Amino acid sequence: MSERVPVNPGRVEWAGNNPGIYLRDSADGPWTALAVYFHIVLSPRGRGRTMIVLGEPDRAEGLAANNVCLTDNHDLTRYLLEGFVSKFPSFRGKAGLDAMSWHDLERVHIEDALPARYTMSAAAPQVQAVMTLEALGEPFPVEVTPETSATGAHDMYSVFLEAKAASIAVNGTRLRGRVTDRQFFGKTMSTAFLALSETWVSPLAAG
Amino acid sequence: MPLKTPINPGKVVWSGENHGMLLKAAPDGPWTALALFFRLYYSPAGSGTALLLYEEPDLAESLPRACNVMISDNEPMARYLMSDFVARLGNSPFGTAPAFPAVQFVALEESHASGDPGSRFSEVVRAPGIDVELVWDGLGTPRALELPKELTGGKENDLFTLLVESRRPAIVLNGRTLPGEPVARVQAGIETTTAFLYFSETWIAPG
């Protein structure tokens, strides 16, 4: 679509919240730790929650490298990995994504202390993973098309809150790296964010 | 607005889920029961869950005679929604019914969602002496909407939302199904009903 229209004619893929934290040692260095959390309220594979943490994104190992996936809906998570996460620029081609160990998510605890802090704690029998966003900014609405979306294939509506600081921990160990700046549609923004009320839509095929 | 501005210059008012049902015994009759459910992830008054229920919309009374109540786990948020959202919904019966000014605020004890918006979905809300189950059945295809303020009830703020219509809703209060059925309505040119799930809903004050 070249213009915003009231009723998107495309097929809704999923809706939910989708915060992320991407860490590295320096602004031009490789990612040292990546984490993304999905709370999906609508999808063709049902509802569910998934936390993916890559403690060593470029290493083809699972729990030993803190490369883990905690999920309460494996089918939904496979759908998200295939169509979305594996296409996100920060996760694309990462050996840790294919090698990560899978764990049955038992519970998630969200601590909402906006704007100071927003914490997501996920627990499975062998793994506890915690994503913490701090010093969050004002929310702003975002709408992108396939040309600018993270997958290169979808329309996407969302609300973003930038976090000036963030951390990821697995089984009590804080993962390496820090938040850095990136360009986000002409705006300098950090690599940690709370993304709320997202909707991803597959546009209708041309013709 | 052209899509060359993916970051919307407007200000987020609130964001979350906003499911509802407006029921009548006859298409040209009065409203017999109304329910509006909120699960907010962001608002100026914080996050939380709330249910506005009018057991008797035409009665300017609340408990104990009529369960015309606002149940929530965040009363400041609930009061914000009543004053800044419900009261400004134009000619919506939620803000114009005799029950509106009589509503009592009640503390929520428990709430949870169940089912799936692809088939049958429900929200359960409990408070002392009040047990409510809202059921949306006969669900339609999800549709992503982006409405300019002119196409909204309040005509004040723009709206991103994800509509799933319901043809067979029910409000079950303390084991009793309240009378009425949904009626036809038109939203942004879509012929739909007065029973709806709205996920990923974000209200935006135009910038």
First to last CA, chain A: 13
Tell me the CA distances in angstroms from A123 to A11, A97, A108, B30, one per residue in order: 33, 19, 6, 49
pLDDT reading at B3 higher than 90:
no
pTM of the model: 0.95
Q: Of B12, B16, B151, which has the smallest distance from its Cβ to A141's Cβ?
A: B12
Average pLDDT over residues A52-64: 98
Does the distance separating the beta carbons of A17 and B41 come in below 8 Å? yes
Which pLDDT band, with edges at 50, 70 and 90, does B2 fall under? very low
Q: Do B118 and A197 touch (CB under 8 A)?
A: no
- A141 to B190: CB separation less than 8 angstroms, yes or no: no
Closest CB from A6, A112, A196 relative to B146: A6
Task: Check whether A100 has a pLDDT greater than 70.
Answer: yes
Q: Are the beta carbons of A87 and A153 closer than 8 angstroms?
A: yes
Mean pLDDT for chain B? 95
- Asked if A185's CB is within 8 angstroms of B7's CB, the reply is yes
Q: How far is CA A64 from CA A13, A36, A124, A132, in A?
A: 33, 19, 16, 22
Helix (H) or strand (E) holding B84: helix B75-84
- pLDDT interval class at A207 (50, 70, 90): very low
Distance of CA B169 to the CA centre of its chain: 13
pLDDT level of residue B68 (50, 70, 90 thresholds): very high
pLDDT digits (tens, 9 = 90+) for A162-188: 999 999 999 999 999 999 998 887 788
Give how far B65 is from chain A: nearest CA, Å. Answer: 36
- Measure the CA–CA gap between B93 and B103, rounded to whole angstroms: 14
Mean residue pLDDT across chain A: 95
Instruction: Report, as an integer, the average pLDDT of B60-66.
Output: 98
A-B interface: how many C-beta pairs under 8 angstroms?
A: 126
Within B55-194, strands assigned E span: 68-72, 104-107, 110-115, 121-127, 130-139, 143-147, 158-173, 176-177, 184-187, 190-193
Given a contact cutoff of 8 angstroms between Cβ atoms, the answer to whether B100 and B57 are in contact is: no
Tell me which residue of B165, B182, B173 sits closest to B25, measured CA to CA: B182
Distances (CA, A) of A147 to A24, A154, A155, B151: 26, 8, 9, 27
Each residue's pLDDT tens digit, A136-156: 999 999 999 898 888 999 999
pLDDT at A3 over 70: no
Mutate to test the interface with B, among A1, A39, A41 (most CBs of B within 10 A): A41
Of B6, B118, B141, which has the smallest distance from its Cβ to A143's Cβ?
A: B6
Interatomic CA distance for residues B116 and B113, integer angstroms: 9
Q: With an 8 Å Cβ cutoff, is A7 touching chain B?
A: yes
In chain B, the residue whose alpha carbon lies closest to the alpha carbon of A143 is B6
Diameter of chain B measured on Cα atoms: 55
Q: Which of A3, A12, A16 sits opposite B143 (nearest CB)?
A: A12
State how far the alpha carbon of A34 is from the alpha carbons of A52, A54, A133, A167, A176, in Å: 8, 5, 13, 10, 10
pLDDT digits (tens, 9 = 90+) for B176-195: 999 999 999 999 899 999 99
Of A31-35, A105-109, B7-11, B144-148, where does mean pLDDT reach its minimum? B7-11
Query: Do the beta carbons of residue B103 and residue B82 sit within 8 Å?
Result: yes
Q: Which two tokens stand for residue B61?
A: 């009374």
CB contact under 8 A, B6 and A142: yes
| Cross-strand bridge partners of residue A169 | A130, A174
pLDDT of residue A2: 46
* Residue in B7, B151, B162 closest to A42 by CB: B162
* % pLDDT > 70, chain B: 98
| B11 contacts on A by Cβ (under 8 Å) | 138
Question: Residue ranges of the alpha helices (H) in chain A?
Answer: 74-83, 95-99
B-chain CB neighbours of A41 within 8 Å are 17, 113, 117, 199-200
Which residues in chain B touch residue A157, judged by CB atoms under 8 angstroms apart? 144, 146, 160, 200, 202
Residue with tokens 């979808």: A154
What ipTM was predicted for this assembly? 0.94
- When pLDDT is cut at 50, 70 and 90, the band that residue B122 belongs to is very high
pLDDT-derived band at B4, boundaries 50, 70, 90: low
B81 phi and psi, to 5 degrees?
Answer: -65, -40
